[in-house]
Amino acid sequence: MIVSILEDMTKNDQKIDINVIEEKINNKPEIKEVKSDVSDEILDDITEVDIKKQFLVPNPVDREGYLKMKEKTPARLGLWRSGPRYKTQPMLRFRADHAAAQDAVFSYVPDEVIEEMKLIPIETKCGDKDTYVTRPDLGRQFDEENTSIIKNKVTPNQKVQIIVGDGLSSAAIGANIKDILPSIKQGLKTHGLDFNDNEVLFIKHARVPAMDKIGEITNADVICYLIGERPGLVTAESMSAYLAYKPTVGMPEARRTVISNIHKGGTPAVEAGAYIADLIKKMLDYKKSGIDLKEVE
**Is 286 in contact with 296 (CB distance < 8 Å)?**
yes
Q: Is the pLDDT of residue 12 over 70?
A: no
Confidence of residue 11 (pLDDT cuts 50, 70, 90): low
Stretch 13-42: mean pLDDT, rounded? Answer: 62
Q: Determine the pLDDT at residue 9.
A: 53
Out of 16-30, 66-80, 98-112, 239-253, the most confident range is 239-253
> Count of alpha carbons within 13 Å of 157, Cβ hemisphere only?
0
What per-residue confidence (pLDDT) applies to 233?
81
CB atoms within 10 A of CB 174: 20
Q: How far apart are CA 256 and CA 244, in angstroms?
A: 5
Residues 291, 1: Cα–Cα separation, whole Å: 82
The answer, yes or no, to whether residue 8 has pLDDT greater than 90, is: no
Beta bridge partners of 239: 228, 262
Q: By percentage, how much of the chain surpasses pLDDT 90?
A: 66
Residues 68-119: pLDDT tens digits?
Answer: 998 888 888 888 888 999 898 889 988 998 898 888 899 999 999 999 999 9
Question: What tens digit of pLDDT does each residue of 130-154 get?
Answer: 999 999 999 999 999 999 999 999 9
Asked if 125 and 204 touch (Cβ cutoff 8 Å), the reply is no
Residue 178: pLDDT band by 50, 70, 90 thresholds? very high
What pLDDT is attached to residue 25? 58
Output the average pLDDT for the chain.
Answer: 89
Distance CA 203, CA 228 (A): 11
Q: Tell me which of 152 and 6 has the higher pLDDT.
A: 152
pTM for the full model?
Answer: 0.79
Q: How far apart are CA 218 and CA 98, in angstroms?
A: 39
Contact by Cβ (8 Å): 236, 103: yes
Rounded Cα distance between 135 and 126, Å, is 7
